[in-house]
């Protein structure tokens, strides 16, 4: 069992070795004095160190699909040239200008990439420009819809409601002495009105007293 596991590990390492070797070679592995044009569909865009990689499916000379692996500069440099981790997406049609590998493998190093909308992505950094973040910022939340205005109230309706509205002032409570004081004053006034006016005393007759 130990021998079988060891053989599996060795086989996996040998399978990874070609990609690792190609992922770390220098520009000397490419014919930098030549440029080939590759038009195809993006299969994968790898935003990684020490080099970025674009896997591209193109039609070969025999008309059959052929996969190319074209190497790009590191993210720290391409980020200052306008690239980012989502600048290329699978299924997108692009045209790649690249220097081919010297050994004839379908590999190259990117000179520039032209997107379907005409955007040209070069590999010359602008060191006065801040590098693009690996993860794009989240989209801003949409603004809240405006609140509807309150319903308008006609002036006539407001006045009519104010006329028919009962008064909010509560009647003043009267004490017991105030409720009885008014009848007493009324009775006194009535008694004075019905009583006869006082008569003057009769004049004294001096002849009768003599």
Query: For residue range 149-161, what is the model confidence (pLDDT) as tens digits?
Result: 777 765 555 554 5
pLDDT of residue 110: 96
E strand or H helix at 54, and its extent? strand 52-59
C-alpha distances in Å from residue 83, one per residue of 33, 98, 174, 197: 24, 17, 90, 123
pLDDT digits (tens, 9 = 90+) for 113-122: 999 999 999 9
Helix (H, G, I), strand (E, B) or coil at 109: strand
- Confidence at 111, pLDDT banded by 50, 70, 90: very high
- Of residues 170 and 112, more confidence is placed in 112
Cα–Cα nearest to 131, from 81, 74, 86: 81
pLDDT digits (tens, 9 = 90+) for 128-138: 766 554 445 55
CA trace torsion 108, 110, 111, 112 (10° rounding): 130
Task: Return mean pLDDT, the chain.
Answer: 74
- Ranges 3-7, 33-37, 43-47, 169-173: which has the least confidence: 3-7
pLDDT at 76 over 90: yes
pLDDT digits (tens, 9 = 90+) for 1-10: 444 444 433 3
- Confidence at 194, pLDDT banded by 50, 70, 90: low
Alpha helices in 123-209 (DSSP H): 155-164, 176-194, 206-209
Q: Would you identify the CATH topology of the domain 23-122?
A: OB fold (Dihydrolipoamide Acetyltransferase, E2P) (2.40.50)
Q: Average pLDDT of 83-89?
A: 96
Q: Average pLDDT of 58-71?
A: 93
pLDDT of residue 148: 79
Q: Average pLDDT of 94-111?
A: 96
Tally of CB atoms within 10 A around 129: 11
């Amino acid at each position: 069992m130990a021998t079988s596991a060891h053989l599996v590990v060795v086989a996996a390492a040998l399978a990874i070795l070609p990609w690792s070797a190609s992922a770390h070679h220098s520009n000397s592995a490419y014919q930098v004095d030549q440029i080939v044009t590759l038009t195809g569909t993006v299969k994968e865009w790898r935003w990684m160190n020490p080099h970025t990689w674009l896997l591209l499916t193109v039609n070969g000379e025999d008309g059959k699909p052929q996969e190319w692996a074209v190497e790009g500069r590191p993210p720290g440099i391409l980020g200052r040239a306008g690239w980012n981790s989502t600048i290329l997406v699978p299924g997108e049609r692009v045209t790649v200008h690249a220097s081919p590998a010297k050994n004839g493998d379908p590999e190259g190093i990117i000179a520039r990439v032209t997107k379907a909308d005409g955007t040209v992505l070069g590999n010359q950094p602008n060191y006065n420009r801040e590098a693009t973040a690996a993860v794009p910022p989240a989209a801003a939340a949409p603004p809240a819809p405006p609140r509807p205005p309150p319903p308008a109230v006609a002036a006539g309706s407001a006045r009519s409601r104010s006329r028919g509205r009962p008064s909010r002032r509560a009647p003043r409570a009267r004490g017991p002495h105030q409720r009885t004081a008014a009848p007493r004053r009324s009775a006194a006034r009535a008694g004075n009105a019905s009583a006869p006016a006082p008569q003057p005393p009769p004049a004294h007759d001096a002849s009768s007293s003599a």
